[in-house]
Amino acid sequence: MTKNIGTDFFKKTTYKYLEPSDQQKDLPQPPLELDYDISKQLINLPEPNELKIEDISLRTCIESRQSIREYSEISLSLNELSYLLWCTQGIRDDTRGTAILRNVPSAGARHAFETFILVNRVEGLKSGIYRYIATKHKLIEFSFEEGIADKITKAAYNQSMVKESAVTFIWVAIAYRMTYRYGERGYRYILIDAGHVGQNFYLATENLSCGACVIAAFHDEELNDIMRLDGEEQFVIYLASVGKKIVKD
């Protein structure tokens, strides 16, 4: 095993090693969202301003937050799923197509992530993988391959909460969206941004009285293949499972 990969990464992404970025070269910026098949029907989600969510104090959410890996068999509602998507990657403002402001912070408002969800138990949705079209706040079908939940679970080193959850979120990084502005240092910011998304996810699930667990242990090549990603320009960066808490007697 090669040693010092981590320290080399941090060393080589310090400013003294950076070359001018493509933004500094006045090259056109990449799209703010991946294209999707417009012939496919988009699935409506409850609009953010219509979501009926109980107010819980931020302090309560922070103090109650913990990783929970076992869930009840109760389904999430479409309302609850909409809320989680909105809190983790929802768009608050599209500033004339040059940047997007979301409900999570991101370096330079680059927002390098696309959200996919493995639906196991959500009212009104069949099981399978969907992609969140953030600019529309809608879903689009992605994969309903037989045994897809088992394949993703296996790629996540057989962590059973992936397929036993109501939903498992799969965040995909589009590297050039970040490196366009920051060059190789942008990879640092992608990792930092994943933390921002994960914390919003935890707080939002706690607000719903759900259990959640973020997942960083997965077989990269295997999971990227399942998600039809090249593993270099586009790759899975983070997973997170969520489900209703088990009520103990």
* Confidence band of 246 (pLDDT split at 50, 70, 90): very high
Tokens of 112: 């390098």
Mean predicted lDDT score pLDDT of the chain: 95
Cα dihedral sign, 155-175-134-30: negative
The runs of H, that is alpha helices, within the chain are 5-12, 58-64, 78-89, 148-155, 161-164, 175-182, 186-207, 220-226
Which pairs from 63-69 meet CB under 8 Å and 24+ separation?
64/206, 65/202, 65/203, 65/206, 67/212, 67/213, 67/214, 68/211, 68/212, 68/213, 68/245, 69/159, 69/160, 69/161, 69/211, 69/213, 69/241
Which pLDDT belongs to residue 249? 67
Does 7 reside within a domain? no
Nearest to 81 by CA among 230, 210, 185: 210
Give the span between the Cα atoms of 4 and 6, in whole angstroms: 5
Q: pLDDT tens digits, residue range 138-164?
A: 999 999 999 999 999 999 999 999 999
Does 69 reside within a domain? yes
Q: pLDDT tens digits, residue range 58-85?
A: 999 999 999 999 999 999 999 999 999 9
Q: What is the pTM of this model?
A: 0.96
Q: Do 214 and 198 touch, CB atoms closer than 8 A?
A: yes
Does 8 reside within a domain? no
Q: pLDDT tens digits, residue range 119-136?
A: 999 999 999 999 999 999
Does 184 reside within a domain? yes
* Confidence band of 54 (pLDDT split at 50, 70, 90): confident
CATH number, domain with residue 206 = 3.40.109.10
Does 93 reside within a domain? yes
Does 29 reside within a domain? no
Q: pLDDT tens digits, residue range 179-235?
A: 999 999 999 999 999 999 999 999 999 999 999 999 999 999 999 999 999 999 999
Residue 63 Cα to chain centre, angstroms: 23
Give the span between the Cα atoms of 185 and 179, in whole angstroms: 7
Residue 94 has pLDDT above 90, yes or no: no
Does 22 reside within a domain? no
Range of the domain at 158: 57-244
Give the total number of structural domains in the chain: 1
User: Which residue would you say has higher pLDDT here, 236 or 99?
Assistant: 236
Give the span between the Cα atoms of 243 and 195, in whole angstroms: 20
Q: pLDDT tens digits, residue range 2-47?
A: 789 999 999 999 999 999 999 999 999 999 999 999 899 999 999 9
Does 18 reside within a domain? no
Residue 1 has pLDDT above 70, yes or no: no
Which pLDDT belongs to residue 95? 72
Which pLDDT belongs to residue 233? 97
Residue 172 has pLDDT above 80, yes or no: yes
